Amino acid sequence: MGKLQLGLLSSHTGSNIQAIVQACQNSTLDAAPRVIISNNSGSNDLAYARAEQIPHYHLSSQTHAQAVERDRAMLQVLQHHEVNLVVLSGYMKNLGPLTLAHYRNRILNIHPSLLPRFGGQSMYGKRVHEAVLASGDTRTGITIHLVDAEYDQGPIVAQHELPILPNDTASALAQRILEQEHLFYVETLCAISQGRLKLDQLN
């Protein structure tokens, strides 16, 4: 698929996106951050993109009232910046059918549990870790998966397991997992860029 040209999507903090951009900048990852997109005009990731002078866009129901227009605009922006891999982190909206079809097997998301456990539309933020702790599971982790029209249901690309510690709280777990996500997302992208992990062979 050639050098990775990344389109990075996030709604709020964007700490994974920052970790990925930094890995590109310090050559840990052989990829180019081509564009950052958020549905939230006040998001941290758009402020970061401005500071780093990375092309960035706010695309939402405020900028495009109809879902089909948003989908078209998203695809246009990604194509305009020659993106060949779309990377989501904490992006709280579904992608439209045009974008999903054009980037089939080329859209990744990260989720802070071992999917299929603790995934789905209402499973985000602290809720995931609260549910993990309530389940009595002894291990949790991180999943990177391909994105399709359903929340958290696309084929799994990579998983990383972590133990649950005896006195873990949801916040402690959230923080420990997020730190690991930064490393694991970059490692997984390295494996894709070096051809060790092939997205076309997952389904």
CB of 111 to ligand GRF, least distance (A): 5
Contact between 152 and ligand GRF per CB under 6 A: no
Contact between 13 and ligand GRF per CB under 6 A: yes
Stretch 33-72: interaction string toward ligand GRF, x if CB under 6 A? ----------------------------------------
Label residues 13-30 b or e (16+ Cβ within 10 Å = b).
Answer: ebbbbbbbbebbeeeebe
Q: Which is nearer to ligand GRF, 103 or 185 (CB)?
A: 185
Q: Which is nearer to ligand GRF, 1 or 133 (CB)?
A: 133
Contact between 10 and ligand GRF per CB under 6 A: yes
CB of 195 to ligand GRF, least distance (A): 25
Residue 18 structure tokens: 């920052």
Binding site for ligand GRF (CB under 6 A): 10, 12-17, 89-90, 110-112, 178, 181
